[in-house]
């Protein structure tokens, strides 16, 4: 094998080392140039693409409008009503009480049954009342004879007029005593003061009753009242005789008329009592049933719209969004005057207006939109 001189091997090693160093610098320079070129190309191309995207977006916004649905609403006459929460109340309810004392010996009327005027409710024992009546009758007959004799003697001049007057007074006292015991005997029979339903019987046979003790409660069902409390803002619009309706909690609607409006407000609630009298020919109404009184007040032009169309603006005003003839969105504040199962009645809108029914949440005042008219109106 050939042997290279020592000097030649050293020179060769030095030469190779120099080439390695130069190669590293060259590769580093090439990489740096490539990176710089990539960065520059990205900046230039990115600015151009971004500019193109912005221009395209602006053009799209200018050409594309938000679509909304709208319906034409026309004002209609609407009769406003005063609505009052209340309850039914019997026109007459009386607790019949004893006017004398005694033990109950009969209660012929059944609880919950109908009684006519003067029907017997409770009967008390007579005790010694019949004996006292016979005594009073005998005393009156005696005083009657004494008075008759005294008149004859006075007429013939054998007695003074004062003696005749004394005899007359004794006779009148005896007559009054008989009347008292007859009244007391009649009071042992406690009777219904008017026709109605025996709502509650307080005693049974064998109970002892004193003066003032309750025998039974009678409810007059021929007519009923629906009573409620009306606010001081609305009481001036109601008058005695005004027609009204009462809707019971079961949905029954009854017609009646106002018979009473209080002149004084309740100090606690500042409301006034109102009574609507309604007929009850079939005795179907009960006392204490929750009811709603409605009294027509006046007629006003308004729009009936769906409650979902109502929106609030930045100031907290309630209103609806509409579109004009140029399809520009407007916000119009409204006042709710009443509601019904179909919608709410509002005032504040023009006579005829295009109300946005779909998309009102996504548009704002002054914005131009594309309008699709509906045929069902603003109540849907």
Question: Considering just the CA atoms, what is the radius of gyration of the chain in Å?
Answer: 51
The backbone region for 252, taken as left when phi is positive above 0, alpha when psi lies in -120 to 50, beta otherwise, is: beta
Question: According to the model, what pLDDT value does residue 37 have?
Answer: 66
Residue-wise pLDDT tens digits, 231-264: 998 898 899 999 999 999 998 999 999 999 999 9
pLDDT at residue 328 greater than cutoff 60:
yes
The pLDDT of residue 27 is 67
Looking at the structure, tell me whether residues 318 and 287 fall in a common domain. no
Residue 253 has a pLDDT of 92
Query: What is the rounded distance in angstroms from the CA atom of residue 345 to the CA atom of residue 332?
Result: 15
84 domain-assigned: no
What's the pLDDT score for residue 2? Answer: 43
Picking from 248, 273, 298, the residue at the C-terminal end of a domain is 298
Least confident of 7-16, 216-225, 254-263: 7-16
- pLDDT tens-digit profile of 270-325? 999 999 999 998 888 988 999 999 998 878 899 999 999 999 988 989 999 999 99
Share of the chain residues as helix, strand and coil, in percent rounded to the nearest 5:
30, 40, 30
State pLDDT tens for residues 189-202.
Answer: 999 999 999 999 99
Residue 356 lies in a domain: yes
Residues 51 and 135 in one domain: no
Separation CA 358–CA 361 (nearest Å): 8
Q: Looking at the domain assignment, is residue 89 inside a domain?
A: no
pLDDT of residue 379: 59
Q: Hey, which residues does 71 pair with through a beta bridge?
A: 355, 374
| CATH code assigned at 268 | 2.40.30.170
Q: Whole-angstrom Cα distance, residue 289 to residue 252?
A: 11
Same domain, yes or no: 354 and 287: no
Whether residues 203 and 238 share a domain: the answer is no
- Asked if residue 86 is part of any domain, the answer here is no
Name residues whose C-beta falls within 8 Å of residue 39's C-beta, 6 or more positions apart in sequence: none
* Number of domains making up the chain: 4
Residues 319 and 282 reside in one and the same domain: no
DSSP H stretches of helix in 229-298: none
Note the pLDDT tens digit of each residue in 334-379.
Answer: 999 888 888 999 999 999 999 999 998 899 999 999 999 987 656 5
273 with 318, same domain?
no
Residue 127 DSSP label: T
User: What is the rounded average pLDDT for all residues in the chain?
Assistant: 85
Q: Does one domain contain both 309 and 291? A: no
N-term to C-term CA, the chain: 108
188 lies in some domain: yes
Whether residue 83 is contained in a domain is answered as no
Query: Which domain-ending residue is among 209, 236, 257?
Result: 209
Task: Report helix angle 129-155 to 161-187, nearest 10.
Answer: 160
Q: Does 317 share its domain with 265?
A: no
In which domain, by residue range, is 278 found? Answer: 221-298
Last residue of a domain, one of 142, 177, 209: 209
Task: State the CATH number of the domain containing residue 362.
Answer: 2.40.420.20
Q: Is-above-0.75 flag for pTM? A: no
User: 183 and 242 in contact (C-beta within 8 Å)?
Assistant: no
pLDDT tens column, 89-102: 998 999 999 999 99
Domain co-membership, 116 together with 205 = yes
CB 249 within 8 A of CB 316: no
- Residue 223 CB burial class (10 angstroms; 0-12, 13-18, ≥19): middle
**Same domain (yes/no): 134, 203:** yes
Strands (E), the chain: 67-74, 76-97, 102-106, 114-115, 120-124, 189-191, 196-201, 208-209, 214-231, 243-248, 253-261, 271-279, 290-305, 311-312, 318-323, 329-333, 335-339, 344-347, 352-358, 370-374
What pLDDT, on the 0 to 100 scale, is given for residue 11?
54
Same domain, 267 and 310: no
Residue 353 lies in a domain: yes
379 located within any domain: no
| Domain CATH number, residue 147 | 1.10.287.470
Question: Do both 123 and 198 map to the same domain?
Answer: yes
């Amino acid at each position: 094998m050939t042997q290279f001189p020592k000097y030649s091997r050293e020179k060769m090693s030095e030469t190779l080392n120099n080439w390695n160093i130069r190669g590293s610098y060259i590769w580093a320079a090439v990489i740096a140039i490539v990176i710089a070129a990539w960065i520059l190309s990205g900046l230039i191309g990115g600015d151009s693409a971004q500019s193109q995207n912005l221009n395209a977006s602006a053009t799209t916004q200018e050409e594309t409008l938000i679509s909304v649905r709208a319906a034409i609403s026309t004002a209609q006459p609407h009769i406003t009503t005063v609505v009052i929460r209340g309850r039914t109340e019997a026109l007459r309810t009386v607790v019949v009480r004893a006017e004398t004392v005694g033990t109950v010996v009969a209660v012929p009327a059944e609880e919950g049954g109908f009684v006519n005027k003067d029907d017997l409710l409770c009967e008390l024992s007579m005790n010694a009342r019949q004996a006292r009546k016979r005594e009073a009758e005998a005393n009156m007959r005696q005083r009657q004879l004494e008075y008759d004799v005294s008149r004859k003697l006075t007429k013939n001049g054998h007695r003074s007029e004062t003696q005749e007057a004394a005899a007359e007074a004794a006779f009148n006292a005896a007559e009054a005593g008989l009347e008292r015991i007859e009244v007391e005997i009649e009071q042992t029979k406690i009777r219904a003061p008017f026709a109605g339903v025996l709502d509650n019987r307080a005693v049974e046979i064998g109970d002892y009753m004193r003066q003032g003790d309750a025998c039974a409660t009678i409810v007059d069902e021929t007519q009923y009242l629906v009573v409620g409390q009306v606010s001081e803002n609305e009481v001036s619009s109601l008058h005695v005789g005004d027609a009204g309706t009462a809707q019971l909690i079961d949905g029954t609607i009854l017609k009646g008329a106002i018979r009473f409006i209080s002149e004084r407000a309740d100090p606690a609630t500042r409301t006034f009592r109102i009574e609507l009298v309604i007929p009850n020919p079939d005795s179907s109404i009960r006392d204490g049933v929750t009811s709603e009184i409605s009294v027509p007040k006046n007629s006003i032009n308004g729009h009936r719209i769906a409650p979902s169309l109502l929106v609030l603006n930045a100031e907290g005003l309630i209103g609806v969004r509409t579109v004009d003839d140029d399809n520009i969105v407007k916000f119009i504040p409204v006042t709710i005057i009443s509601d019904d199962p179909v919608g709410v009645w509002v005032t504040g809108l023009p006579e005829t207006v295009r109300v946005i029914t779909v998309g009102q949440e996504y548009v704002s005042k002054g914005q131009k939109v594309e309008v699709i008219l509906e045929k069902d109106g603003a109540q849907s």
